C-alpha cells in the first residue's frame, strides 16, 4: 500500500516519499536554509527580506516611515484643498502591508463606511436627511435675508468711493 492510500496522507505533506509509505524524506537541493512561510496576511515583504531578520526589521521601519509620511500628508490636506481622508487611508493601507494593528483599523473602518452607506440608502433615512437639509437651507436663507435687510449687501469691489 502506498502513502496516499493508507490514510496517512504523507505524500501531500510537502516532502517526497521513498516508496515505502514511511515518513517523507527531506529533499534539499540547495545549501540555503529553508525559508519559513509567514502567516497569511501579515507581511508583504519579499521572501528574501523575510528570511533575514535585520533586513526584515529595516523593511518594516521603511514601511512605517513611508506610511507615516503619507498619513502626515493626508493630515495636512484635511484643512487644505485635497483628498485628505483618502490619502490618510492610503497611508494606513501601506502600514497594513506589515502591521496587524493597521489591518485591524482598516477592516473596522471599511465595515463602518459600509454600514453608513447602507444606512444612507435606507429610504426613511434619506427622507429624513432631505427634510433636515431643506429646513437648514430655509433657516440659513432667512438669516441671510434678515442680515441683508438690516446691514445691506455691499460687494467687495464697491467700496463706496
The string of pLDDT tens digits covering residues 49-70 is 777 788 888 888 888 999 999 9
Residues in the chain: 161
Asked whether residue 6 is domain-assigned, the answer is no
Return the CA Rg of the chain: 31
3-state secondary structure of 126: helix
Residue 150 lies in a domain: no
* Bridge partner residues of 16 (DSSP): 25
Q: Roughly how many angstroms between the first and final C-alpha of the chain, as a whole number?
A: 107
User: Which tens digits make up the pLDDT trace of 37-52?
Assistant: 544 447 777 777 777 7
Name which of 27, 64, 59, 28 is nearest 46 in CA terms.
Answer: 59
pLDDT in tens, 13-35: 444 444 444 444 555 555 555 54
Distance between CA atoms of residues 54 and 73, nearest Å: 29
Indicate whether 101 belongs to any domain: yes
C-alpha cell at 51: 528570511
Q: Does 62 reside within a domain?
A: yes
- Within 13 Å and on the Cβ side, how many CA atoms surround 3? 17
3-state DSSP assignment of residue 16:
strand
Query: What is d(CA 94, CA 62) in angstroms, rounded to the nearest whole number?
Result: 11
E strand or H helix at 88 = helix 84-96
* Overall number of domains in the chain: 1
How wide is the angle at C-alpha 13 spanned by C-alphas 7 and 16, nearest 5°?
A: 100
Domain that holds residue 100: 41-144
Encode pLDDT of 131-153 as tens digits: 999 999 999 999 999 999 888 87
Does pTM surpass 0.75? no
Does some domain include residue 1?
A: no
Amino acid at each position: 500500500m502506498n502513502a496516499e492510500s493508507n490514510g496517512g496522507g504523507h505524500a501531500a505533506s510537502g516532502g517526497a516519499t521513498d516508496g515505502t509509505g514511511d515518513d517523507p524524506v527531506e529533499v534539499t537541493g540547495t545549501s540555503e536554509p529553508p525559508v519559513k512561510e509567514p502567516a497569511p496576511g501579515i507581511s508583504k515583504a519579499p521572501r528574501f527580506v523575510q528570511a533575514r531578520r535585520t533586513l526584515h526589521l529595516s523593511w518594516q521601519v521603511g514601511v512605517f516611515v513611508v506610511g507615516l509620511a503619507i498619513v502626515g500628508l493626508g493630515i495636512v490636506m484635511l484643512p487644505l484643498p485635497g483628498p485628505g481622508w483618502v490619502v490618510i487611508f492610503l497611508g494606513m493601507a501601506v502600514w497594513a502591508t506589515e502591521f496587524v494593528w493597521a489591518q485591524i483599523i482598516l477592516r473596522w473602518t471599511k465595515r463602518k463606511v459600509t454600514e453608513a452607506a447602507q444606512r444612507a440608502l435606507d429610504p426613511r433615512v434619506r427622507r429624513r436627511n432631505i427634510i433636515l437639509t431643506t429646513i437648514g437651507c430655509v433657516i440659513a436663507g432667512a438669516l441671510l435675508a434678515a442680515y441683508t435687510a438690516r446691514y445691506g449687501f455691499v460687494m467687495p469691489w464697491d467700496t463706496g468711493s
